[in-house]
Every structure is written in C-alpha cells, then in structure tokens.
Amino acid sequence: MKVIQGLVLAFVGIVALAMGLLVMTVVAPTSGAIARADGQVQGVPAGYQQWLDKGRAECGEPELTPALLAAQIDAESHFNARAVSPAGALGAAQFVPGTWAMYGRDSDHNGKADPHDVGDAVMAQARYMCSLIKQAKSSAISGDVRELALAGYNAGWGTVIRFQGVPPKSFARGETYNYVHSIMSAMKRFEAPSPVQASGSGSGSGSGSGGSGGGGSGAAALRKATGRLGTPYAWGGGSPQGPSTGFCDDVNGYAGGRCLASTTTGFDCSSLVQYAYWPAVKLPRTASEQYAATAQHPVARADLQPGDLMFWRHGRTGSIYHVALYAGSGQVLHAPRTGRLVETTQIGSAAPAGDYLGATRP
C-alpha cells in the first residue's frame, strides 16, 4: 500500500494513517514464473498460485479474482516477498503494522503471522480487498467495484467517499488514479485461458447472431459484465458502447412516483447482456429477442457454464421479462430493476422460480 504524501494527510488524515498507505520503491522481481491454463491465473512466481486461489475462495466475491490479486502484487512489489519500502511497508503486498494488525494472520501455519511470508501476505491482501469490495457494493458510489476497492487500498476508503469514485489525476499527482488503471490494465496479463478457450471446443458449439458459441465467448462476456458491477439500473438505458440514460413507459422506469430512468445512466437487464457479448457475439437488444436468437442452443440447468443466458417469463406462456448471465456457483450477474445496481446474486433471488424459462448459450 502506498502513502499519498501531503495531500492524503490533508484530505484524509487519521483515516489514511489508519489504513497504512505508503509509497514503495520499485524492487527487482523474483524469478521462477509459472503459467497455468486453468482459467485462473498465469505468469506468477512459484509459491503464489495456491494462495491466490485460496484468497479468492475465502472471499467469495466474484470480482476478487486471482488475476486481480496478482496484478496488484506486481504493482506493489513485483512479487518480491522481502520488499521493504522507505516508509516501512513490508512484503509482497506492502503492509504497514497498523493495517497488518487488522488483516494479517498465520495463514501458512508456520507459527507466526509475517508480512514477508507469501501465504500470510496474499491472504491478508485478499481479506483487505474483499472488505473494500463489499464496502463498494454496499455504498451508493457508482462504478467498477474493483476500481473502487483498489483506490481504497491505495488511498483509503475515505478518499473514495470524498471523490465519490476513483480520485482524478489531479489528486496527489495522479498516484491513485495511475495505480488503479495500471492494475486494471495489467490484470489481462495474468488471466490464464479457460480450458474451453484453450481447446476451442465445448458443449453448445453452434453459432449465435454475429459470432460462434462455445468458444470461450461466455467467459469473456462474464468478465466484461463484471466490470460493470455497481452500475445503476436504467430501464431502456445501455448499449453495446456502455451505460446510458433510459426512459419510462406506462409501467417501467419509475421509482417513488417519478421517472428515474430518464435521469439515470446505466443498463437494463438485456442491454447489459448485449454489452457483455458485443462485438464477439452481436446479440439483439431485448430479452425476448435474445432468447429467440439463441434458443437453438438450449442449456440444461445442470450443464450451465459462466456466461450462459438465463431467462424468466410471466407464468408459463407469458412474455419474457428478464435475462441474466450465469456467473458460476449457483449465481447470476444481472441488472435487476429500477432503483437497484448491477449485482451478483443467487439464481433463486434473481426472479421468481416459477417464472424460469430456461438457459441458452450464444
């Protein structure tokens, strides 16, 4: 973690000090990088893989991926477990005593909690990031929750609240802004291809509108949609280019008796799906059109893969009113309704179970 000197002390004071944010020097990377094509992470030094996986599993938030943690460690220390900054930040994840006291544990069970131990450091980093992601989700701040969490890790959550998002380049000479965006860009480097992507095969190998199915496009779509977690719902809003303001009809788009959609920049359920798959698969705009375009590739509930589309309709013969992306582990990622944010939730909480129509694979 890095101290934003001067401005941080002025703006966040005790909050920033408590979070233990420090400036670190660039240190030489360790050697022995390994690569794994398991759909999780690649290009990390030996000894990190298992802890990146465990950190993700302990957190349970889908946004906290091993690749995100790896990119962050690379930015903090270039995977140097013995790194020490001039301000006293220690280890691969650059913890100072105050923050370490809150999140450090003897995760590798060697008898001591040590920020220089890879296992202890990575697990503490994952706990800290997990707590920040949860704060981002529960806040009213819009934006990518991963970026908000990274900004909180670097500059303190109080700074994120102050700016209602990632601080701009004008804050602290761009320290936090550049930290966040460099990690988000570097994350792709650490994302290993999934088995489906690596082999180019899988169930549901037919083609959808504008692209081929079963070739890994579902996993890529889910990753893209994950970047929009926390974005507001806007009836009629959103496009392949991103969120936009929506509109109200006689029924939809209202909250508290006023038209919220026309002043909200966001997605509705089907525009989020369209955005996620575009341009690899150019799905049509509405949920019913998306079902019609992909119905030739149905997927049984037991065979769901990340990125598959799940549909709900009114009763047994009514119109389709909702679509969501399957996110794995019995969860979906979707834009739920007016007044809510793009989220992940259990399938049973997404819509009434009796309205479930089925799933397809674009």
In a domain, 351, yes or no: yes
pLDDT attached to residue 268? 97
Closest by Cα among 313, 328, 320, 312 to 39: 328
92 with 135, same domain?
yes
Residues 6+ apart with CB under 8 A from 217: 211, 277, 280, 281, 307, 362
pLDDT attached to residue 5? 37
Q: Checking DSSP bridges between strand 331-334 and strand 320-328, what pairing results, if any?
A: antiparallel
pLDDT attached to residue 40? 66
Domain count, the chain: 2
181 with 199, same domain?
no
The pair of three-digit structure tokens given for residue 149, joined into one six-digit string: 């969490």
pLDDT attached to residue 140? 85
30 with 156, same domain?
yes
pTM (whole model) above 0.75 = no
Residue where the block lists tokens 């030739």? 296
211 with 137, same domain?
no
210 with 150, same domain?
no
96 with 11, same domain?
yes
pLDDT attached to residue 39? 39
Per run of 10 residues, the mean pLDDT along the chain (length 362 residues) is 41 36 34 37 88 92 93 93 89 91 94 95 96 92 92 92 94 93 89 50 34 59 88 94 93 93 96 95 94 94 94 90 92 94 91 94 94
201 with 144, same domain?
no
Report the chain's terminal Cα–Cα distance, integer Å.
41
In a domain, 284, yes or no: yes
240 with 316, same domain?
yes
Last residue of a domain, one of 175, 190, 205: 190
Q: How many Cβ atoms from other residues are within 10 Å of residue 349's Cβ?
A: 11
51 with 147, same domain?
yes
140 with 243, same domain?
no
Instruction: Enumerate the active-site residues.
Output: 76
Closest by Cα among 320, 313, 334, 325 to 361: 325
